[in-house]
Amino acid sequence: MQHPLFSVAQIRGIERTAAAGLEPGILMDRAGRAAADHAADLLGPGTGRAVLVLAGPGNNGGDALEVAAHLAAREQVTVIHLRGDGAQPSFETARAIERAGASSATFTDALPSAEPDLVIDGLFGIGLTRPLEGRGRELVDTINEYGCPVLALDLPSGLDADTGAVVGPDGIAVRASHTITFIGDKPGLHTNEGREYAGQVAVVGLDISQDQFPPATALLSTPDLFAHCLRARGQNANKGTFGNVAIVGGAHGMTGAPMLGARAALFTGAGRVFAAFVDPGPAYDSTQPEVMCRLAGGFDFGTATLVLGPGMGHSPDAVRDLLRAFESASPLVIDADALNLIANSPDLQQRLTQRGNAILTPHPLEAARLLGMTVPIVQADRLAAAHELAARFNAVAVLKGSGTVIAHGDQVAVNSTGNPGLATAGTGDVLAGICGSLLAQGWPLWEAALGGVWLHGAAADRLVRRGIGPIGLTAGELPLAARAVLNELVRRYARRRS
């Protein structure tokens, strides 16, 4: 089952189409009821808890006032309503103001002296185009210091729904513990700053018919997108059935990087795994002796799926090995130093574009070098940057970071797994190795990228659930966890197909 993500423009179009066939105010009433029910779930059993509702001047504020009207029957609701610049509210918002005013909710201009049990953020919705300022900013500054749950309506105020960036160079946004988003899910809730500010996201469709929804801007990546590649192993399988992977890199002083990638490939199912070193490296991996060590210069690049870049360096030998890899017909995963060599060479860029059959796995700085822009520009619109990488280099692009973005052609997906434990050296080498392993086992490029990124993040999530990290989680701990997650997925989806 797919999980679509819609742009602000698409959401507005859906809302206009749906509202045209309904009585005025119906959608806002549905949103208010759904959010009030969600708030009640967060509060748990009982009544009389203190709820602070922050309502802005627009329709997002109208949603918040509807929530206040519904909750006031059982909780102690305080409303701070920012009226804006004096513009007349919409019919729907005016009706919500009237309903909340007729309830037992208390309207005030001052924050309560004691921290409430729950805050409802309905200050600004998907239409915000400038940084929060004035009273709105003051309110956000204060509630971000609270320890109670914060429920954002549609999205946290101050966040861009399309990009996940905080609006404005000096902007701030509500740090919500939970977000209930209306009509359809938005990319900005799942990438860039979105995961930090949105918390747990719930989607409420407001009973709008699916035939009123256009094709999604992107998808939230889940195992359903690559489930058809998850196959139980047959009894008659052998190591040749599951392909060869060679991790090409390991210049002097950086032999650990290809070793991490090789172990990741091994533990996620590749039949045979090689570490091919640019400079003379170790004769064998004492921790994982199944990994076969070779000199890259003498290795036949046509015999394996190639993962290029971990610890590769920038020497002439590294360039030589990269060129030889491009001349092979093998599928490629291109990471780390290989990406930087390509960014610095128009010739390598042209060769890559003409060749295709590759997955690129840059972090934002590497992506900025490849695109000839700055990191802030890349991060300001991660979906657009990933799409540009994929188009420019005729590849599947994996733009790493919180809410990793995977793009190829017209397809864009935002990954849903991972945590700050991955912010440590070597985890990118592990990701590249996993992607290479899946390619070697016959997964198509798109599914190998989706599956590799999802497994990589899920492995980190599994470790954190077990008390290993996020602080101090190391890249070397990921391959075993990834193996466990992959086998669990195979068992789950094999049962569904049986």
Q: What is the CATH number of the domain that holds 265?
A: 3.40.1190.20
* pLDDT score, position 127: 85
Nearest to 308 by CA among 281, 279, 333, 330: 333
* pLDDT score, position 67: 98
Q: Is 128 annotated as a binding residue?
A: yes
On whether the CB atoms of residues 251 and 440 are closer than 8 A, the answer is no
Q: Is 469 annotated as a binding residue?
A: no
CATH number at residue 161: 3.40.50.10260
* Amino acid making up residue 157: S
Q: Is 428 annotated as a binding residue?
A: yes
Domain assignment present for residue 33? The answer is: yes
Question: Sheet harboring 200-204: ordered strands across?
Answer: 106-107, 76-81, 50-55, 118-122, 150-153, 178-182, 200-204
* Amino acid making up residue 192: N
Q: Is 402 annotated as a binding residue?
A: yes
Domain assignment present for residue 453? The answer is: yes
Q: Is 13 annotated as a binding residue?
A: no
d(C-alpha 80, C-alpha 146), whole Å:
16
Q: Is 157 annotated as a binding residue?
A: yes
Structure tokens at 128: 């915000």
Pick the last residue of a domain from 188, 213, 238.
Answer: 213
pLDDT digits (tens, 9 = 90+) for 302-354: 999 999 999 999 999 999 999 999 999 999 999 999 999 999 999 999 999 99
Give the distance, in angstroms, between the CA of residue 456 and the centroid of all CA atoms in the same chain.
12
Give the distance, in angstroms, between the CA of residue 12 and the centroid of all CA atoms in the same chain.
23
Residues in the chain, how many? 498
* pLDDT score, position 83: 87
Question: In terms of domains, do 150 and 239 share one?
Answer: no
Question: In terms of domains, do 305 and 388 share one?
Answer: yes
Q: Is 186 annotated as a binding residue?
A: no
Give the distance, in angstroms, between the CA of residue 126 and the centroid of all CA atoms in the same chain.
19
pLDDT digits (tens, 9 = 90+) for 32-84: 999 999 999 999 999 999 999 999 999 999 999 999 999 999 999 999 999 87
Question: In terms of domains, do 193 and 275 share one?
Answer: no
On whether the CB atoms of residues 412 and 219 are closer than 8 A, the answer is yes
Q: Is 156 annotated as a binding residue?
A: no
What residues form DSSP beta bridges with 80? 54
Domain assignment present for residue 115? The answer is: yes
Domain assignment present for residue 432? The answer is: yes
Q: Is 317 annotated as a binding residue?
A: no
Q: Is 131 annotated as a binding residue?
A: yes
Q: Is 403 annotated as a binding residue?
A: yes
Q: Is 461 annotated as a binding residue?
A: no
Question: In terms of domains, do 206 and 230 share one?
Answer: no
Pick the last residue of a domain from 151, 178, 213.
Answer: 213
Question: Average pLDDT for consecutive 10-residue bins of the chain (498 residues)?
Answer: 95 96 94 98 96 96 97 97 84 94 96 96 93 95 97 98 95 97 98 97 97 96 97 94 98 97 98 98 93 96 98 97 97 98 98 97 98 97 98 98 97 98 98 98 98 98 97 98 98 78
Question: In terms of domains, do 250 and 325 share one?
Answer: yes
Pick the last residue of a domain from 146, 180, 213.
Answer: 213
Question: In terms of domains, do 126 and 231 share one?
Answer: no
d(C-alpha 490, C-alpha 170), whole Å:
46
Q: Is 404 annotated as a binding residue?
A: yes
- 3-state SS, 328-395, equals CCCCEEECHHHHHHHHCCHHHHHHHHHHCCEEECCCHHHHHHHHCCCHHHHHHCHHHHHHHHHHHHCC
Q: Is 426 annotated as a binding residue?
A: no
Domain assignment present for residue 52? The answer is: yes
Q: Is 61 annotated as a binding residue?
A: yes
Question: In terms of domains, do 152 and 267 share one?
Answer: no
Q: Is 121 annotated as a binding residue?
A: yes
Domain assignment present for residue 379? The answer is: yes
Pairing verdict, β 106-107 and 4-5: unpaired
* Amino acid making up residue 459: A
Q: Is 372 annotated as a binding residue?
A: no
On whether the CB atoms of residues 338 and 373 are closer than 8 A, the answer is no
Question: In terms of domains, do 124 and 151 share one?
Answer: yes
Domain assignment present for residue 352? The answer is: yes
Q: What is the tally of structural domains in the chain? A: 2
Residue with tokens 């789950």: 492
Question: In terms of domains, do 416 and 448 share one?
Answer: yes
Give the distance, in angstroms, between the CA of residue 390 and the centroid of all CA atoms in the same chain.
17
Domain assignment present for residue 219? The answer is: no
d(C-alpha 360, C-alpha 152), whole Å:
35
Question: In terms of domains, do 416 and 351 share one?
Answer: yes
Q: Is 474 annotated as a binding residue?
A: no
Structure tokens at 424: 């440590």
pTM of the model: 0.96
What's the domain range around 449? 224-497
Question: In terms of domains, do 388 and 486 share one?
Answer: yes
Q: Is 315 annotated as a binding residue?
A: no
Question: In terms of domains, do 182 and 288 share one?
Answer: no
For 15, residues 6+ apart whose C-beta sits below 8 A from its C-beta are 27, 183
* Amino acid making up residue 132: L
The answer to whether the Cα torsion of 438, 443, 449, 452 is positive or negative is negative
What residues form DSSP beta bridges with 109? none
